[in-house]
Amino acid sequence: MNNKAQASVLAFMIAIVVIILAISLAFPLNQMTTNAMNETSEIGGMNCTATTDDFVKAGCWVVDLGQGYFIGGLLAIAGLIIGARLIIQ
């Protein structure tokens, strides 16, 4: 194998690791988001369903959207690694 092929294989392995990391962090991140947004958890959450405070509502939006942005960002990084290796060869 030449150096370009070795670099491509290494990039694909790193991309696969990032994809596995994103998939494995999805469920724990969902649990943390649920605990942060609900008052019923043992840590006491923001109680997003019954709040009237605008600051708490904004915090609920940020926590709710943060999960998707984090997982989507990790998958985008993996896609960029794969795409860069396919374009630059």
Is 14 within 8 Å of 81 (Cβ atoms)? yes
Domain count, the chain: 1
Is 74 within 8 Å of 21 (Cβ atoms)? yes
Written as tens digits, the pLDDT of the chain (89 aa) is: 788 888 889 999 999 999 999 999 999 999 888 888 887 656 677 888 887 888 888 988 998 899 999 999 999 999 999 999 888 86
d(CA 63, CA 73) in angstroms, rounded, equals 15
Which residues in 15-78 belong to E strands, given as ranges?
A: none
Give the structural domain span for 50.
3-87
pTM: 0.78
Tens of pLDDT, residue by residue over 39-52, are: 765 667 788 888 78
